[in-house]
Amino acid sequence: MSMLQPGDCHAFEAGGRRFLYLAPSAAVMAVDDVSAAVLDEVALRSRSMEEIVADLSERFPDGAVGESVDELLKVRALRRIDTPMRRPAKVLPLTPVPLSTMVLNVTNQCNLSCTYCYEYGEDKIVQTENGKQPKMMTEQTARESVDFLLRESGKDAHMTFFGGETLLNFRVLKTTVAYAIGQAAALGKTIDFSMTTNATLLSPEVIDFLAEHRFGVTISMDGPPDLQNKFRVFHNGAGSYDIMAPKVKALIAKHRSRPIGARVTLTRDTLDVRRIYDHLTQELGFWEVGFAPVTASPDRPHAFGDEGFEQVLSEFRALAQDYLAAALENRHHGFSNVRETLGEIHKGASKAWPCGAGFGLLGVSTGGDVALCHRFAGSDDHKLGTVKDGIDRSKQAEFLGTHHVSDKTDCQTCWARPLCAGGCYHEAHTRFGTTNKPNLHYCDWIRGWTDTCLQIYGQIAQVNPGFLQQFEDANEAPQPS
Ligand code: SF4
Ligand code: SF4
């Protein structure tokens, strides 16, 4: 007698209704009464088909329970206890995946000295000393990067400028944009631009340029003065809030063609998510705010421990309720972490790799080395080629072949793998010294947050399904973080 138990899925409730998130297909499935009863039968101990049918025969018509068991087995929400869990299939691309986003580190210098910064602190992985990588990208290297992107991309290309502090090399950024527009037009391709900046160097000239070229702009900022000035300081230790806040307001007032977002780094000492969100949206006028826990080795004073992740989760959950209330009334809410996860759920995202790093997204160092992403740009160990000579396809194939979700033992059976797939390579490298390891230190946080977003998704799907239409239309290029 074959015994049955819960399968490769996650059960959740939303708006009084039961749902399953099916990991093999990344689909959300509403559970009817019969299936709910079947799932309850196996929740605490394994049961045979015959036992389940006998237990439920008085509650449901003949045949309904058997049909439901078959259906649940088919979608792998149930599994036979004597059948091992199936590993996600390892499917590798046979031909190169077109590049969609190229992140140019136009400088590795910064006019701030943020205590937690991965680029300069004790966790840094890129050598900028001894002439290994120049401080500023030259115009020539930037042009070669444009040529590289347009060679490797499909019809639509996205170029994003990053640093250090990006605007320290505004001169090259400006000429590169002009060159890219001309080259893309000549090839019949479209190209758009974005950048990340700490906002301290925004001037009227820069703001006009960004507005004119419809730049997507992300401002790295941590919140009201006391939080911003805690870590985001100039080299002399002075806080940056008073310098950058008026410039942010000027940017938001002038640049109206694309929404401006803030990107907040959370540390164990700056965890007041709602206060940060309210300040950035209400006082400064940001359209959206995204939060990310700091990337740091566990022994750094600002790094997160388990308690920190729990607190972030509870703060996120509270703010996510505001997002839900707004969504049910078709109002905008700028908590971008929810929007991004809802978009992935709605599109049925099922990731074999955690992000596009190494194929759809590549980073370029100031010297023109091409790496997994901007956080690895300039690191010899993570180099995949150069803008001059192109991508080393065998290195790229080796990377994709060794970082697939099916290579990560714990992730193979995790219900959150379609959206997580092991998490950020840079986080893993900082924590464990290698990009191969899954980020098992934050699984509870990832699963807790995914569960919250699934509940929100389920409620919106029932009460205001039209709100989800925006995720079908959206086709965002991945943004560096
Ligand atoms: S890192 Fe953790 S949460 Fe993410 S897929 Fe792997 S096991 Fe699941
Ligand atoms: S998630 Fe991590 S590895 Fe992927 S692009 Fe972002 S920083 Fe790079």
Does residue 290 line the site of ligand 1, with CB under 6 A? no
Residue 301 clears pLDDT 50, i.e. is over it: yes
| Ligand 1 closest atom vs CA 421 | 5
Residue nearest to atom 3 of ligand 1 (CA): 443
pLDDT, mean of residues 428-443: 94
Min mean pLDDT across 208-217, 287-296, 385-394 is at 287-296
Residues 6 or more apart whose Cβ sits within 8 Å of residue 302: 115, 116, 231, 267, 268, 269, 294, 296
Q: Which ligand is nearest to the CA of 425?
A: 2
Q: Which ligand is nearest to the CA of 421?
A: 1
Q: Are strands 17-22 and 27-30 parallel, antiparallel or unpaired?
A: antiparallel
State the amino acid at position 287 in one-letter form: W
Rounded to whole angstroms, how far apart are CA atoms 68 and 198?
55
- The residues with which 159 forms a beta bridge, in sequence order, are 102, 193
Rounded to whole angstroms, how far apart are CA atoms 460 and 282?
25
Query: What's the pLDDT score for residue 440?
Result: 95
Rounded to whole angstroms, how far apart are CA atoms 97 and 106?
25
Cα(426) to centroid(ligand 1), Å: 15
Which of the two residues, 1 and 208, has the higher pLDDT score? 208
- What would you report as the CA-atom Rg of the chain, rounded to the nearest whole angstrom? 24
First-to-last alpha carbon distance for the chain, in angstroms, is 52
| Ligand 1 closest atom vs CA 414 | 8
Q: Which ligand is nearest to the CA of 430?
A: 2
Q: Are strands 383-386 and 390-391 parallel, antiparallel or unpaired?
A: antiparallel
Query: pLDDT-derived band of residue 121, with 50, 70 and 90 as boundaries?
Result: low
Query: What's the pLDDT score for residue 149?
Result: 98
Does residue 385 line the site of ligand 1, with CB under 6 A? no
Cα(352) to centroid(ligand 1), Å: 12
Residue nearest to atom 1 of ligand 2 (CA): 424
Residue tagged 């340029």 (tokens): 209
pTM, two decimal places: 0.94
Query: What's the pLDDT score for residue 130?
Result: 47
Instruction: Give the tokens for residue 458.
Output: 């389920």
Bond before 423 cis per omega within 30 degrees: no
Q: Which ligand is nearest to the CA of 414?
A: 1
Does residue 354 line the site of ligand 1, with CB under 6 A? no
Query: pLDDT-derived band of residue 305, with 50, 70 and 90 as boundaries?
Result: confident
Query: What's the pLDDT score for residue 95?
Result: 83
> Ligand 2: which of 362, 405, 426, 434 to mutate, judged by most atoms within 8 Å of the beta carbon?
426
Cα(142) to centroid(ligand 2), Å: 22
Instruction: Give the tokens for residue 130.
Output: 């001894």
Does residue 419 line the site of ligand 1, with CB under 6 A? no
Q: Which ligand is nearest to the CA of 416?
A: 1
Contact 349, 418 (CB under 8 A): yes
pLDDT, mean of residues 115-126: 68
Residue 256 clears pLDDT 70, i.e. is over it: yes
Question: Considering only CA atoms, which of 15, 130, 82, 126 is closest in space to residue 455?
Answer: 15
Rounded to whole angstroms, how far apart are CA atoms 478 and 481?
9
What residues line ligand 2, using a CB cutoff of 6 Å?
355, 357, 361, 373, 375, 424-426, 481
Cα(412) to centroid(ligand 1), Å: 8
- Give the full edge-to-edge strand order of the sheet including 190-197: 288-293, 261-266, 216-220, 190-197, 153-162, 99-105, 361-364, 369-371, 383-386, 390-391
Residue 279 clears pLDDT 70, i.e. is over it: yes
Does residue 64 line the site of ligand 1, with CB under 6 A? no
Query: What's the pLDDT score for residue 194?
Result: 98
Residue 441 clears pLDDT 60, i.e. is over it: yes
Instruction: Give the tokens for residue 186.
Output: 């000549």
Cα(74) to centroid(ligand 1), Å: 24
Cα(344) to centroid(ligand 2), Å: 16
Does residue 439 line the site of ligand 1, with CB under 6 A? yes
In the chain, pLDDT over 90 holds for what percent of residues? 85
- Give the full edge-to-edge strand order of the sheet including 17-22: 9-14, 17-22, 27-30
Mean pLDDT of the chain: 93
Contact 229, 262 (CB under 8 A): no
Residue nearest to atom 1 of ligand 1 (CA): 422
Min mean pLDDT across 79-88, 139-148, 208-217, 326-335 is at 79-88
Rounded to whole angstroms, how far apart are CA atoms 304 and 292?
11
Query: What's the pLDDT score for residue 124?
Result: 63
The predicted-structure confidence for 155-179, as pLDDT tens digits, reads as follows: 999 999 999 999 999 999 999 999 9
> Ligand 1: which of 341, 431, 437, 447 to mutate, judged by most atoms within 8 Å of the beta carbon?
447
Q: Own/partner pairs for 310-315, CB < 8 Å, 24+ apart?
A: 310/444, 310/445, 311/271, 312/266, 312/271, 312/273, 312/445, 313/444, 313/445, 313/448, 313/449, 313/452, 315/271, 315/272, 315/273, 315/274
Instruction: Give the tokens for residue 222.
Output: 């941590």
Rounded to whole angstroms, how far apart are CA atoms 129 and 284?
37
Residue nearest to atom 7 of ligand 1 (CA): 411
Q: Which ligand is nearest to the CA of 411?
A: 1
Cα(419) to centroid(ligand 2), Å: 14
Q: Are strands 390-391 and 369-371 parallel, antiparallel or unpaired?
A: unpaired
Residue nearest to atom 6 of ligand 1 (CA): 411
Cα(180) to centroid(ligand 2), Å: 24
Longest Cα separation, the chain: 79
Cα(437) to centroid(ligand 1), Å: 10
Query: pLDDT-derived band of residue 269, with 50, 70 and 90 as boundaries?
Result: confident
Cα(54) to centroid(ligand 2), Å: 51
| Ligand 2 closest atom vs CA 373 | 8
